[in-house]
């Protein structure tokens, strides 16, 4: 378990930025997102979490 949540088994559909594995494999996990055609990760953890993973999506959200 990571904190109050179970271990992540599917990073694209159950992202957890606090999972220790994320810190160890961040670049690999980002590649999973890029290969999934999903520019924004979503998770029900932490009362709902959205995380953009492409430059274009971050730019669109920020501006």
Q: For residues 23-44, b (16+ Cβ closer than 10 Å) or e, as one string? A: eeeeeebeeebeeeeebebebe
50 within 8 A of 40, measured Cβ to Cβ:
yes
Contacts with 44 (C-beta within 8 Å, 6 or more apart), sequence order:
14
| CA pair distance 50, 1, nearest whole angstrom | 21
pLDDT digits (tens, 9 = 90+) for 2-39: 456 688 888 888 888 889 998 899 999 888 887 777 77
Helices (H), the chain: 20-35, 55-62
The pTM of this model reads 0.64
Could you state, in order of their start, the residue ranges of all structural domains in the chain? 1-63
pLDDT digits (tens, 9 = 90+) for 35-52: 777 778 888 998 988 888
């Amino acid at each position: 378990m990571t904190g109050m949540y179970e271990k992540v088994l599917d990073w694209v559909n159950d992202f957890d930025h606090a999972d220790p594995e994320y810190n160890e494999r961040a670049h690999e996990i980002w590649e999973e997102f890029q290969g999934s055609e999903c520019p924004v990760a979503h998770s029900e953890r932490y009362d709902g979490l959205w995380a953009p993973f492409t430059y274009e999506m971050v730019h669109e959200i920020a501006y």
